Amino acid sequence: MNKNAALRRRVTLVDSEPSALDILLRAAQSFQFDCQTATSAESAVKLLERQPTPVVVLDLCMPGMGGVWLVQEIKKRWPQTAIIVVTLGVADEALMQCMSAGVQHYFLKPVHIDEFHHALQATWSSQLKRRENQRQKQRLESMVHKQTHKLRNTFFSAITSLVRTLEARDFYSSGHSL
């Protein structure tokens, strides 16, 4: 994937209600996000298998497997994906399951567009920071690995030099030190 593709602001929107999905789609597009949409949890998983996105916005109240299952499936299969829940209202147990699974934002319908914009932008920004932190961590781990390798080679070179020095001074014990 090229760098420009990685920086594209992409989101998956999932809602079984066509009018709600249309509102979310229009709003996200107006905020300069590339969007893909699904109308069920199962179709969302298939969509994410083909084209994962860093952010998913979903409704918990859907036919089929439902939104709570989708949250858990996303977190199991794509743990780095951020999730925003937009729903009519749901039992406390479902809310607790979503929050413990790692949902970033939770809104009740009707959604205020300004709040949705803020949540989407904040979630996107945190995803960018997480990616940058991950890249920085990988760079640092690589540097530590290289320095460890250098240090190990330097250590063994120093030991080998000491052994040769010992053996050069005492021919009787030559070979024992090595």
Q: Output the domain CATH number for residue 101.
A: 3.40.50.2300
- Quote the pLDDT of residue 90: 62
In a domain? residue 168? no
In a domain? residue 77? yes
Phi, psi for residue 8 in degrees, rounded to 5: -60, 140
Q: Which residues of 89-101 are buried (b: 16+ CB within 10 A; e: fewer)?
A: ebeeebbebbeee
Query: Which amino acid makes up residue 61?
Result: C
Give every CB contact of residue 162 below 8 A, 6+ residues apart in sequence: none
**Count of the separate structural domains present in the chain:** 1
In a domain? residue 152? no
Predicted structure pTM score: 0.66
In a domain? residue 69? yes
SS3 content of the chain, % helix, strand, coil (to 5): 60, 15, 25
In a domain? residue 25? yes
Q: What is the mean pLDDT of each run of 10 residues along the chain (178 residues)?
A: 58 87 85 88 91 87 82 88 80 70 74 79 78 79 83 82 74 64
In a domain? residue 67? yes
- Determine the structural domain holding residue 126 and report its residue range: 3-133
CA distances 122 to 7, 84, 104, 152, 157, Å, are 15, 11, 10, 44, 52
